[in-house]
Amino acid sequence: METSLRCGGDSRALRIHAKEKIPLDSNIFLQVHGELDTRMGEPSLLAASVRQFFPDLFASAGIGVQYDKYRKLQHFARGKMSFPVTTDGMLQFTIKGQSHHDKDFKQFCFIVFLAD
């Protein structure tokens, strides 16, 4: 289990974040994570997702559900794919995308960005 302390955003309180990855198959795992707001003494985020890696394609995809104290219940899908620029793999471009939907599956956020 990975744990971290986080501060920032809309809250001045320290948040305790915990994440666990449970293998389901060789390239598939269940990821569960949550945050506890130390000021309020209650969870500020709970999420679960299934993620699959495609090592031959340098790609991954995932779907899941998340509950937070602001937007309540939401669904999300995300993907990532890397394109090697050099033959040795030392330089690559990565495209990441994610889409968030509310409980009625109305899209309220779609993000695509490049990373190196």
Which fold, 2-115?
Answer: Lipocalin (2.40.128)
Q: Is the pLDDT of residue 88 over 90?
A: no
Q: Is the pLDDT of residue 18 over 90?
A: yes
For 38-62, b where at least 16 C-beta lie within 10 A, e where not — what string? eeeeeebbbbebebebeeeeebbeb
pLDDT tens digits, 28-80:
999 999 998 888 888 888 999 999 999 988 899 999 999 987 778 899 999 99
What pLDDT, on a 0 to 100 scale, did the predictor assign at position 8? 65
What pLDDT, on a 0 to 100 scale, did the predictor assign at position 77? 93
pTM comes to 0.73
